[in-house]
Structure 1
Amino acid sequence: MKSRLLILSMLMLIFSSCKKWLDVDLINQVDENKLFSKEQGFTDALAGAYNQMAEKNLYGRKLSFELLDVLGQYYSYTSISESYKPYRDYQYKDAAVRGQIDAVWTDMYGNIAAINNIVRWEQKNGAVMRPNVRKQVLGEALALRAYLHFDLMRMFCEDIKFNHQAKGIPYNKQFGVALPPVYTLAECYQLVLADLEAAWAYLDEVDAINNKVPYQSADKNVADRDVARMNKYAVKALMARVYMTMGDKANAIRCAKEVVDSRKFRLLDFKASVDVDENKRDILFSDEHIFSLRNKTIPELSNEVHFDIKTETSTTFAKLPFGDAAGIYGSNTDDARYQLWFDLNKVTKYTRGKVVTFTPKIPLIKLAEMYLILTEAYYDTDRNLSLQYLNDLRRSRIRNVSDWHYITRDNIFEEIVREFPGEGQLFFAYKRLNRAIRNTSGTGDIQPSNNIFVFPIPDKELETGNR
């Protein structure tokens, strides 16, 4: 019954999110038979899943520049708003923090349920779609299912490199299952990879990105169509991320190289993307996006936490002032990230772009990550290649930069820190590398442990599922 209610509510959200409104009677009756009787219904349902991921309760704010970046200690330790201090201090038992974490769990599994419903109906009535569209829809749905489960694992599970047999999460592959089984962490990783392999098999030959190079499109909103979804290279890039998290560097290299060598994406080009009229300046380095989500309210959502709120009589200071941009980037105004993403301690990454040219978006997987994976994965076996990939990335970020001829693991991590403000990835990098977290208060680093890196499973899940 709970699953049924959940999917009904998710379908209502999907209908309200789709650009092409469906009939009022369908909205009122939530008539799945009618929705999935046409190809358009399948694509609308899939669009709804993407739209829900982009909402502020998930990647539109909480899992990008809010909760996860607070945990990654990007923001000022001393100046952060009172309401965020329990997050800053990893007080997962605090009622407000626990409520937010529980909501992430619920919302992620809600979206997984909606995706599983698409898969279920593809099996029942997929013949209403053209063959290529059918493969596209199923491939993207499986890829999204893997993406969401993997991020749940990164938040709620231990590091697999330390304990393969640690408890995993419910990996939900079927719609309507009241209590999907809980697998070991190793089994969960294999399920993620299995979904990604299946997604790749469906998308490989039919994906529209095969016949185009997104960044070559003069209209950036047209280019967005192929990266605003789980295209085949987003699947391969996610595989690289998964393998790197598992410590399987050989497979991480294989997958990351396939994405880089496809040449479907390019690192930031100063001439084409920065040294242009302000209306055309690409603040988010969109040509690098392999997969990103669209949400027109992102500038407002960013403003709410990154900027002071002023009235005629008072000023409320920014809830999340950045901790040390000048220190992270060495006050180097030749670094495009420092130049474009910050104004002193204010994060401007999501507010400077012109929406006429660039639809507001959140990058979920980008080319720079593939270069950093290759840099790190080659470090022990081929230092020259490791240097090459890092120097290539740095040349795309910093004007007049000299190549490095020697690097350390700390150099690589410092580049990770510089690369991901506002994207929710730094906390996971600390966890994957089991590194002490830099404390911007200067009172000493935060030592790595499961108490820091593993979110508590919601009590209701434990009680209901007798876990």
Structure 2
Amino acid sequence: MKLKYIIFGLAVTGASMFTSCNGVIEIEPEFVLDGSQRFNNLDDYEFSLTGTYAQFRSTAYYGNASGPAGGYSVLPDMMSDNLTETGESLANFRQLVNFDYAADNAAIEGLWTAAYRIIAQANITLRGIDEFASENPGQYNRIKGQALAIRAYVHFDLLRYFGDNLALNSNTLGVPYKTEFNQENIARPTVAQTWQSIFADLAEAKALLSDTDVAINSSGNFSLRANIDEITVDAILARAYLYSGQYQQAITAATSVIDQVPLVARTSFAAIWRDENIGSSELIWSIPFNSGEGTPATNVYFPSGNRSSFRPSEEVIGQFDSQNDIRYNAYFRTIGNRIVVSKFLGKGNLADGIVNWKVIRVSEMYLIRAEAYTNIPGNGLNALADLNTLRAARITGYVPAVLIGQALVDAIELERRKELFVEGHRFFDLKRTTRNLVRSDCGANFTTCSLPVGNRAWVWPIPIGEIIANDLINETDQNPGYN
């Protein structure tokens, strides 16, 4: 996989965007330079960082289009028991949602390449930047810290799909951790070694972002946080600690975020999904989408064409209190004779599917902390308190529950499913907690209605193109079941 060019400029979109029936148009980058060119000052690195963020909008990462895409946004829900494919679907995802994939699957290779494209751009932003540390130390810290955090975060996303056992000390194979631009030949490290690299980058990023020249995001405003700051790094750490089974560290990181970012009042919750400036909308990090830059969720429901390719499963709808839970009307809408996913309709009163992708919200931190507490003996009351706090913020007239043991664990898992519905978590949550995937509302277009623990499909195959191009990865390094 060769990546020759680096991308600059505010008008950048992902290189994989293309014209489609979902309204994605191709936009040429403002500035493109050959990767062999070196930067002359920190402002050059600033432009490169902007281009790095822009690539998150690519149709193979958070963006959606008419072909298989949105691998790190809505696809993990499409592959789970949260959604059911409908007769309105164009069948672009049929192999993925039915777990009928192999190493030559073009969609999987596209999502792999999109992730490493972002990593390559982050690495070019890091290349040689230490030479300019004294030019403006605060600006240097701000740029380098964000690039390191992006590199760690995208490798983490890759690990969720392509890693098997995600425990901290797992000796199963992880994903190549690339620390140089256009680095081609690199072996698959173990999952443990991948985690080590992720946490090292995040630790350095956090230290750098604690001392910057200017505030990265508007202080106290949690409506649009388009860049990674110190709070965001703590949130990423909390998520990564949970996945790797480091529960006390997850509690510490999540608490740091919770102490700084409030949950919104129930009357303001719906405005989060319309991207309305309400001063504080409990966002930790979001990726902006504007006209001409694609959309993050139209592969589920395409409002401009009123096409619902994936509808919410009857099971998940039944878990919400439709009268008192504010999430019900924010997440679902009845259009015609069907219920569609409506949390990504558009900004304000628009219904074009163009909304910002919410990467991390503070409510996830409550759920991370609650789950982590249940894994540390003697912390059941703390876990219950977090569960009740989140429910009280979402449900009018909520009466605090009293739960212990497995009932509490199951309640937290259910609340996570409801709160983070179609935000890219469900498939991974089932995977990391080793639960069977059972589609009780399977639908005519799902030929596979269950995925038991241990099935090879929980782990994606390393793309055959990578095996052919990378001299240090061969067929023996392929994930089990795909040789």
Residue pair 1:273, 1:280 contacting (<8 A) in 2 also: no
AA aligned opposite 1:454:
V
Q: Against the structure 1 CA distance between its residues 346 and 44, is the aligned structure 2 distance closer, same or farther, given a 3 Å change threshold?
A: same
Q: Which moved more, 1:112-121 or 1:301-310?
A: 301-310
TM (norm. structure 1) is: 0.83
Residue pair 1:158, 1:450 contacting (<8 A) in 2 also: no
In proportion to residue count, which structure has more helix? 1
Which residue of structure 2 aligns with residue 391 of structure 1? Answer: 388
Tell me whether 1:324 sits opposite 2:324 in the alignment: no
Mapped partners of 1:304, 1:248: distance in 2: 34
Mapped partners of 2:240, 2:299: distance in 1: 33
3-state SS of paired residue (2:226): coil
Following superposition, the deviation at residue 131 of structure 1 comes to: 1.5
Which residue of structure 2 aligns with residue 313 of structure 1? Answer: none
Tell me whether 1:88 sits opposite 2:97 in the alignment: yes
Tell me whether 1:48 sits opposite 2:60 in the alignment: no
In the TM superposition, 1:197-346 aligns within 5 A as 197-206=203-212, 208=215, 212-215=219-222, 220=223, 224=224, 227-261=225-259, 263=260, 265-274=261-270, 280=276, 287-297=281-291, 302-303=297-298, 305-307=300-302, 317-324=307-314, 327-344=317-334, 345-346=339-340
Q: Against the structure 1 CA distance between its residues 52 and 331, is the aligned structure 2 distance closer, same or farther, given a 3 Å change threshold?
A: same
Q: Against the structure 1 CA distance between its residues 14 and 458, is the aligned structure 2 distance closer, same or farther, given a 3 Å change threshold?
A: farther
Which residue of structure 2 aligns with residue 433 of structure 1? Answer: 433
Q: From 341, 344, 363, give the equivalent of 1:347.
A: 341
Following superposition, the deviation at residue 317 of structure 1 comes to: 4.7
Residue pair 2:366, 2:386 contacting (<8 A) in 1 also: yes
State the Cα deviation string for residues 194-215 of structure 1 (Å, max 9, x = none).
0000001101132626982124
Residue pair 2:13, 2:57 contacting (<8 A) in 1 also: no
Residue pair 2:320, 2:328 contacting (<8 A) in 1 also: no
In the TM superposition, 1:163-178 aligns within 5 A as 164-178=170-184
State the Cα deviation string for residues 58-113 of structure 1 (Å, max 9, x = none).
01341355422211232115657233332221111296xx1111001111111111
AA aligned opposite 1:365:
I
Mapped partners of 1:448, 1:63: distance in 2: 22
Following superposition, the deviation at residue 121 of structure 1 comes to: 3.2
Structure 1 unaligned segments of length 5 or more: list them. Answer: 19-23, 311-315
Mapped partners of 1:248, 1:43: distance in 2: 34
Q: Which moved more, 1:133-142 or 1:291-300?
A: 291-300
Following superposition, the deviation at residue 181 of structure 1 comes to: 3.5
Amino-acid identity (%): 26
Mapped partners of 2:200, 2:57: distance in 1: 25
Which residue of structure 1 aligns with residue 423 of structure 2? Answer: 423
Residue pair 1:236, 1:259 contacting (<8 A) in 2 also: yes
Mapped partners of 1:294, 1:256: distance in 2: 24
Following superposition, the deviation at residue 145 of structure 1 comes to: 0.3
Q: How many residues align?
A: 434
Which residue of structure 2 aligns with residue 373 of structure 1? Answer: 368
Q: From 3, 7, 10, give the equivalent of 1:11.
A: 7
Residue pair 2:13, 2:58 contacting (<8 A) in 1 also: no
State the Cα deviation string for residues 315-374 of structure 1 (Å, max 9, x = none).
x85222222276343352321211111113211111154179x99311111111110011
3-state SS of paired residue (2:313): coil
Q: From 441, 462, 465, give the equivalent of 2:467.
A: 462
Mapped partners of 2:204, 2:168: distance in 1: 28
Mapped partners of 1:78, 1:322: distance in 2: 10
Which residue of structure 2 aligns with residue 67 of structure 1? Answer: 75
Which residue of structure 2 aligns with residue 147 of structure 1? Answer: 153
Q: Against the structure 1 CA distance between its residues 304 and 28, is the aligned structure 2 distance closer, same or farther, given a 3 Å change threshold?
A: closer
Which residue of structure 1 aligns with residue 451 of structure 2? Answer: 446
Mapped partners of 2:183, 2:84: distance in 1: 43
3-state SS of paired residue (2:360): strand
3-state SS of paired residue (1:329): coil
Which residue of structure 2 aligns with residue 136 of structure 1? Answer: 142
AA aligned opposite 1:391:
N
State the Cα deviation string for residues 204-254 of structure 1 (Å, max 9, x = none).
132626982124xxxx4xxx2xx2111111111111111111111111111
